[in-house]
Structure 1
Amino acid sequence: MTWAIRSAVLASVAFLSIGATSEMTAGQFLAAMNKAESLGPAALMSSDVRALRAESERVLTLYRSDVAKQARAGGPRHSCPPPKGQGKMKGEELKTYLTGLPAAKKKQPFRTALYDFMKQKYPCR
């Protein structure tokens, strides 16, 4: 097999395997946070930290989109966070929340856990 064909096949397999991965659970996210924390300064270079950052950005983007859709629809909203860039969420707050979840809730998707955290942190009044 030529190099170009081999590269195309590998790229296709990598693409398909990425698409087939399931959503990270709250427990997996917490375990990855703990692992990254244990690495100390080396965590900045870790692929695990990049994966954590990508997952949290993906879920926060979904969250912001959902809250914006609810606001435009004029109905009840899930939660009422401050405008983007004005609210600060510390990783330690999220870690504390995830650590306190019962074992059954740690099996839920990280997305669900984050939405619940945001509802608790930014309730609509």
Structure 2
Amino acid sequence: MKRGVQAGILAAVVMLSTGAASEMTVGEFLAGMKKAESMGPAALLSSDVRALRAESDRVRELYVADITRQKKAGGKMHSCPPASDRPKMTGEELRQYLSSLPPSAQKKPFRVAVYDLMKKKFPCK
């Protein structure tokens, strides 16, 4: 019984910590990038940079999982990246895209913006 309660609490914490409410917005991501750029080489040791990298990695893993699931299901694809399933994108390319978004779009989750970019960069033909 005690293990069941502990497992339930752990599951709730995981769900709360990865839920949509905790997602970084485009504006927050851009602000973090600007801050990191202003720090120069010291940015490599910054917790801000680690947070940006963690968010980028999280979104990339979500995207790859979604694309893989869509391929297996055989239905409509969100976007069609190269066969490697590990689409490449430079930090500069991402920064330019995010910076080009209007202020209203910078309030949306970073994840949504990345998915939009992938759809634009790798359209299904």
TM-score range, shorter chain: 0.7 to 0.9
Structure 1 match to 2:90? 90
Does the 8 Å CA contact 2:68/2:85 hold for their aligned counterparts? no
Matched, 1:63 2:75: no
Aligned partners of 1:59, 1:65: CA distance in 2, in Å?
10
Does the 8 Å CA contact 2:79/2:118 hold for their aligned counterparts? yes
Aligned partners of 1:65, 1:84: CA distance in 2, in Å?
9
Give me the TM-score of the superposition, normalised by structure 2.
0.80
Q: Pick closer, same or farther for the CA change 1:30–1:47 going to 2, 3 Å.
A: same
Gapped regions of structure 2 (runs ≥ 5): 1-12
Where do residues 1-125 of structure 1 align in structure 2 (5 Å cutoff)?
19=17, 22-82=22-82, 83-85=84-86, 87-125=87-125
Give me the TM-score of the superposition, normalised by structure 1.
0.80
Gapped regions of structure 1 (runs ≥ 5): 1-14
- Give a deviation string over 1:67-118, Cα, whole Å, max 9, x none: 1111111111011112145x42100000000001011110000000000011
Aligned length: 109
Larger radius of gyration: 1
Aligned partners of 2:35, 2:85: CA distance in 1, in Å?
29
Does the 8 Å CA contact 2:63/2:115 hold for their aligned counterparts? yes
| Identity within the alignment, % | 60
Aligned partners of 1:95, 1:73: CA distance in 2, in Å?
32
Aligned CA-pair RMSD = 1.9
Aligned partners of 2:31, 2:81: CA distance in 1, in Å?
26
Moved over 4 A (4+): none
